[in-house]
Amino acid sequence: MPVITCIDDLKKLHKRRTPKMFYDYAESGSYTEQTFRENTTDFQQLRLRQKVAVDMSGRSTATTMAGFPVSMPVALAPVGLTGMQRADGEIKAARAAAKFGVPFTLSTMSICSIEDVAAHSSAPFWFQLYVMRDEDFVDRIIQRAKDAKCSALVLTLDLQILGQRHKDLKNGLSAPPKLTVPVMLDLATKWRWGLEMLATKRRFFGNIVGHAKGVGDASSLMSWTAEQFDPQLDWGKIGRIRDKWGGKLILKGVLDEDDARRAAEFGADAIIVSNHGGRQLDGALSAIKMLPRIVDAVGDKVEVWMDSGIRSGQDVLKALALGAKGTMIGRSYIYGLGAMGEAGVTKALEVIRKELDISMALCGEKNVKDLGRHNLMIPRIFRAISSKATNLLKKICKFLPKEFVCRAGVFAVCPRVGRSKAA
């Protein structure tokens, strides 16, 4: 195994060892990729407060997420096509997560099926659901997740309509890949990936092929998928799914304070502040910038987690210090999987936990549960505007010219100017 000191080391190996279309699938955002980039760069604006002469012995990163004990507050996020990054990728990632003591979340759009992962994993995992127009399919896949003893349902709310990712269109993304001349030339340099893929039968979307009506092969799958994401998903349908599931429910894709309040009132066990890794609404604020606003909006009514942009243990620390009770990583573990399979996922988790542990100690904390905003120097742009200030600014805004920009944050609340330029 090469010397791995950070997640970027795994990313470089992932790029060398995985076919271009699948590497690009993981390492891309929608449209200009502004939000995709800012998800990571905005973490750099938060600075840590160093503390000295503090007893740093007996440290612990262990805690709980939605009542589940975890060795550190990090879960593996649902990622589609994981089994194309490495043969049997979902199974390998689930095994690594179980051994490490963190949750694994299986995507609806996985290559390995729910049943496959359950048969090869030593611990219960979570299942992520995309809501489809076909209610019968949705009901059956929920029941399949229950039969597989999945311990939580992660319901994704921000993919009713698919955001355009230019790289996927240009690469002709498919599972398995279509054997065009450029693809075959690329695969010729990825012999390790090819040999492993030849040795497995898991090359299609295992949760869909053979389970959705009329979907029996790759060609019918693509047309079915393009038509099935439900643009009519609303709180009424979310309630139906909650009642059908009957267990722990986590709502993923919340990026607005009002939506967060609604989710808290709805009775979710946790909400995940996320912009789908910058793959949906390009131009939206980064998840880390919205995190403190949403934490302040819901208080202790619901656990708030965060994903989108985490590439290090320090990123995890910063999210926890801003009020998150847990985090999810997607690309960080996918880099490891594509680089070295199950061992690479384990290495990604080890890198993140070690950096979290050391940075926590140097900030003067012995337990992740004690992290808070006192551990950070926080720029004004991360801070939520109080509801009283918001209402006052709205009243003032009615009398201001549309072109007026108030440094106090009128752009963030003024309906005449719009929320898209939030301070």
- Residue 282, pLDDT score: 97
Catalytic residue among 14, 120, 211, 276: 276
* pLDDT, tens digit, 9 for 90 and up, residues 133-153: 999 999 999 999 999 999 999
Picking from 392, 416, 389, 395, the residue whose alpha carbon sits closest to that of residue 404 is 416
Q: pLDDT of 309-364, one tens digit each?
A: 999 999 999 999 999 999 999 999 999 999 999 999 999 999 999 999 999 999 99
Q: What is the CA radius of gyration of the chain?
A: 22
| Spatial distance between the Cα atoms of 84 and 204, rounded to a whole number of angstroms | 9
Annotation marks residue 276 as catalytic: yes
The pTM of this model reads 0.89
Distance between CA atoms of residues 83 and 272, nearest Å: 24
Digit-coded pLDDT (tens) for 98-129: 999 999 999 999 999 999 999 999 899 999 99
Which pLDDT score, from 0 to 100, does residue 224 have?
79
When pLDDT is averaged across residues 291-302 and rounded to a whole number, the result is: 96
Give 225's pLDDT tier (boundaries 50, 70, 90). Answer: confident
| Mean pLDDT in residue range 389-404 | 65
Q: What's the confidence (pLDDT) of residue 388?
A: 53
CA distance 259 to 281: 16
Instruction: Please compute the mean of the pLDDT values over residues 297-305 and round it to a whole number.
Output: 96
What proportion of the chain, given as a percentage, has pLDDT over 90? 78
pLDDT (average), residues 27-34? 96
> Between 322 and 215, whose confidence is greater?
322
The rounded mean pLDDT for the chain is 90
List, for residues 239-275, the tens digit of each pLDDT value: 999 999 999 999 999 999 999 999 999 999 999 999 9
pLDDT in tens, 203-214: 989 999 888 887
At position 324, the amino acid (one-letter code) is: A
**DSSP secondary structure of 190-242:** -HHHHHHHHT-S--S-TTTTTTSTT--SHHHHHHHHHHHB-TT--HHHHHHHH
Domains and CATH numbers, the chain: 7-373 (3.20.20.70), 385-421 (no CATH)
